[in-house]
């Protein structure tokens, strides 16, 4: 059903994802309804398919973003007292769509002054700029950006990200939107305990076989990994040469 969720509007798209059980949590549905994909996908925004956004990058199909949000949900929503203000890292943030959706989940019930932080990380500066520019198309996006709840940065996603001034703080959830050659040690080190990572990983050196893995770290720092499903993502590598 993953490819049968296209609609004529953002609400149609989200309702179809819900009807096809690609979105199963009400919180996730509400977050997707708040973020119009037309602000982030340059063509055919309500088709359930990936779209090119330039610089050899794509915005993933909506059902893939839905799967990421569903799997990360327990770690991107506030859960006082253990996690009153979630910290979320979105590697390969591209046009900024999932970054915004994750921010809606992280700030759920407490507004833009919640203290939650969602960082969209790109290794291509124009894509970093694109993500922020897209978020600024709406009043809600501007509110989250101006409050510091969402921040877009440039860096090598394979090394994770230490936010300046907050280097001692780890990430409750890490989403990786490009296929990694491995689950990089830096990402595991920066994952909170407890925390969860959603990451596509190459099955072999060819890069043609990929699966998404759900990587959990428990309260004691013990890491477990669960293979979810096969995918086809652009690689998490050096930025393309101009």
Distance CA 215, CA 61 (A): 22
CB 22 within 8 A of CB 66: yes
Close Cβ partners of 168 (under 8 Å, ≥ 6 residues apart): none
Record the tokens describing residue 206, joined without a space.
């060819």
- Domain covering 51-231 in this structure, CATH number: 3.40.50.150
* CA–CA dist 68, 71 (Å, integer): 5
Residue-wise pLDDT for 86-137, tens only, equals 999 999 999 999 999 999 999 986 656 678 999 999 999 999 999 999 999 9
Nearest to 201 by CA among 170, 161, 241, 158: 158
Structural contact between residues 210 and 236, judged by C-beta atoms closer than 8 angstroms:
no
Confidence of residue 3 (pLDDT cuts 50, 70, 90): low
Q: What is the pLDDT of residue 160?
A: 94
Contact between residue 190 and residue 217 where contact means Cβ atoms under 8 Å apart: no
Q: Quick one: average pLDDT of 184-210?
A: 85
Positions annotated as catalytic residues are 60
Q: What's this model's pTM, rounded to 2 decimal places?
A: 0.92
Ordered strands of the 223-231 beta sheet: 150-154, 117-122, 87-91, 171-176, 191-202, 210-217, 223-231
Q: Which two tokens stand for residue 66?
A: 């839905």
Locate the domains of the chain by residue range. 51-231
Q: Say how far apart CA 169 and CA 70 lie, in whole Å.
A: 24
Distances (CA, A) of 205 to 150, 180, 210, 238: 35, 11, 10, 16
pLDDT at 203: 78
Residue 206: pLDDT over 60: no
Q: Flag the least confident range among 46-55, 148-157, 203-212.
A: 203-212
Q: Average pLDDT for residues 210-220, to the nearest whole number?
A: 92
């Amino acid at each position: 059903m993953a490819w049968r969720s296209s609609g004529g509007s953002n609400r149609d798209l989200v309702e179809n994802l819900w009807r096809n059980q690609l979105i199963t949590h009400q919180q996730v549905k509400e977050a997707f309804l708040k973020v119009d994909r037309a602000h982030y996908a340059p063509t055919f925004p309500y088709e359930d398919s990936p779209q090119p956004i330039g610089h050899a990058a794509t915005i993933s199909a909506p059902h893939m973003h839905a799967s990421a949000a569903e799997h990360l949900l327990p770690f991107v929503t506030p859960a006082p007292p253990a996690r009153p203000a979630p910290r979320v890292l979105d590697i390969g943030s591209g046009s900024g769509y999932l970054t915004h959706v994750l921010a809606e989940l992280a700030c759920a019930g407490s507004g833009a002054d919640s203290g939650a932080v969602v960082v969209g990380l790109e290794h291509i500066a124009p894509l970093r700029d694109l993500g922020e520019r897209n978020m600024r198309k709406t009043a809600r996006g501007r509110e989250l950006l101006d409050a510091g709840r969402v921040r877009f940065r440039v860096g090598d996603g394979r090394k994770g990200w230490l936010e300046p001034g907050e280097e001692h703080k780890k990430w409750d959830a890490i989403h990786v939107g490009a296929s990694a050659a491995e689950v990089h040690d830096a990402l595991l080190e920066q994952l909170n305990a407890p925390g969860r990572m959603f990451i596509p990983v190459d099955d072999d050196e060819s890069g043609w076989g990929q699966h998404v893995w759900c990587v959990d770290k428990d309260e004691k720092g013990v890491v477990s990994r669960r293979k979810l499903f096969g995918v086809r993502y652009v690689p998490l590598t050096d930025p393309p040469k101009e």
